[in-house]
A and B are shown apart, each in its own frame.
Chain A
Amino acid sequence: MSTILVGIKRVIDYSVRVRVKPDGSGVVTDGVKMSINPFDEIALEEALRLKERGAATEVMAVGIGPADAQQQLRSALAMGADRALLVQVDGPVAPLTAARVFAQLARQHQPLLVILGKQAIDDDNGQTGQMLAALWDRPQATFASKLELDGNRARVTREVDAGLETLSIDLPAVITTDLRLNEPRYIKLPDIMKAKKKPLDTTTLAALGVEPAAGSPRAVKFTAPPSRSRGIMVKSVEELVGAMKQRGVI
């Protein structure tokens, strides 16, 4: 019995143009489409492929968030996860709190791997996987673009600024996914029906015995970024060079 834990975060869909509320208290979420964080979909896809190859026997999707995050966990079940757990939390969840949840679940379930997205596209923190690896005292391979298991080790290619880096890590370990790790599958209608019968449990931080991380960075204000405005259009390459010279950039 070997389990892979996958994090599934509910975020504003990547195609939505996010707007800051006029009072600066947050961003507009009313009537906005919500989805699984795209990097988490990649994490789930990788876990499913490992299971299909016989490297794992069970994939468990874990969400931490409001009751509505059950929708994204249902989607994860439809994609192929065997079961799901929602740790219900209202309001923002600090990455250190999320890492504590996964560390606690790792102790309970003894997974082969915990696969998380390299970042969530809402708060763009990119911290939970690394924090989990520290708390769990296990290896981390972040920004993974290729993952191969070999016995009790994994060989992971990572996308780093200079190019590609390959690590060998002992299992169990934490992997965070980059875009090119895989292309997540589409959900088919029969899978949605099947997903309704799969177990989706709900728990709380207190029931898990996890203390929320006090003293984590707290948002006090949101503002819209300064916007760039449309410049001039030129008609020829000569004019282009002239305009560049005028701006002093060449």
Chain B
Amino acid sequence: MTQILIVAEHSDGRLNPSTAKCVSCAQTFGAGTVDIAVLAADAAPVAAEAAALQGVRRVLTLERAENAEPLAAVYAPQLAALARGYSHLIGPSTTFGKDLMPRVAALLGVGQISDIMAVESPHRFLRPVYAGNALMTVEVPADQIVVATVRMASFQPAAGGGAGGIEAVSVEATLPTHTRFLSRTQAKSDRPDLQTARRVVSGGRALASAENFKLLYALADALGAAVGASRAAVDAGYVPNEMQVGQTGKIIAPELYLALGISGAIQHLTGIKDARTIVAVNKDGEAPIFEVADIGLVGDLFQVVPELERLLRAERS
């Protein structure tokens, strides 16, 4: 029997979909229980969302003023204390989880498994290495707590409609004051979140300017898609870095990925290889993106994109 504790990721009083993906992963461990820990200044709205995830036994809330921002140095000692008695402590392989989980593991004196893709047994897992160019099966001893992060592209979010309990808890932990949150800037957008969107439209250096990305935004809106970009487009300053898709950006698994003017460098392909359908448009018929695309079109973006948008809008109406 496994006893799994999941660390909830949340912001602005909303649960991040990454938590529901961790629940899905936890459900593949076999018989056992799944709890969720919510660390927050005001945990109630997030805890209610977490308790409604299918398969969750109970949600533990740890409310402290210091938990207002997700600082790894502040969260880690509390989680290390809370994790005692559990067989597994898991979190999402997002920047939140990647920052936090190794710090908790070290406090618990154990190693950590990064990016679980599949659970072969509660102590044997599959994970990507070399930017996904190889897969590694890893084993951990059964006599110690397992700390791990879950690869977001490998799991669908757990459904809602559950009725887990909610319980306020407190732990003995001395919290450091050496780390202070100052600010967070995030682009406000009405489009879906890149990491969880079902459809993604991405642009590369061929867009040639920030202005030209407007063509992509219009197409994305016609499709109800999120917008991403290649590293080349980000480095050229056309779009902010949080839009980068690839090994060093976001690894995504949408149902539809439209790569527009993206040549298909290995590091970019690593970020999209789990997409269900890849559509590529590029003026260079030899571009490596066509090696992995399900549907390819050789053509000029500046003609193809507006026409595609027009046809898609016509389809919808």
Contacts and interface: CB of A to CB of B under 8 A. Distances in A.
A224 B144 CA distance: 30
B106 A99 contact: yes
Nearest to A231: B294
Interface string B21-36: 0000000000000000
Contacts of A134: 76, 102-104, 106-107
A250 B134 contact: no
Interface string A225-250: 10010111111111111011101011
B182 A124 contact: no
Interface in B222-254: 223, 231, 240-242, 248, 250
Interface in B250-292: 250, 255-256, 266, 273, 276-279, 281, 290-292
A175 B178 CA distance: 14
B192 interface: no
A233 B180 contact: no
B278 A228 contact: yes
Given A134-B107, A241-B315, A250-B256, A233 B296 contact: yes
Contact of B129 (A124, A168, A235, A249): A124
Contact count band on A: 35 or more
Contacts of A239: 297
A215 B137 contact: no
Contact of A249 (B124, B184, B276): B276
Interface of A: 12, 17-20, 27, 94-96, 99, 121-135, 137-140, 142-143, 145, 155, 158-170, 173, 178-180, 213, 215-225, 228, 230-241, 243-245, 247, 249-250
Given A142-B98, A163-B186, A236-B297, 19 more contacts: A96-B110, A124-B130, A127-B112, A131-B105, A133-B73, A139-B179, A145-B241, A165-B183, A169-B178, A173-B178, A219-B136, A219-B138, A221-B136, A221-B137, A223-B135, A230-B291, A237-B308, A241-B308, A249-B256
29 contacts: A18-B131, A95-B112, A96-B111, A122-B130, A124-B131, A126-B102, A128-B102, A129-B102, A130-B101, A133-B73, A142-B95, A143-B98, A158-B95, A160-B242, A161-B250, A166-B182, A167-B179, A170-B178, A215-B110, A215-B140, A217-B113, A218-B138, A218-B139, A225-B128, A232-B294, A237-B297, A240-B295, A240-B308, A241-B311
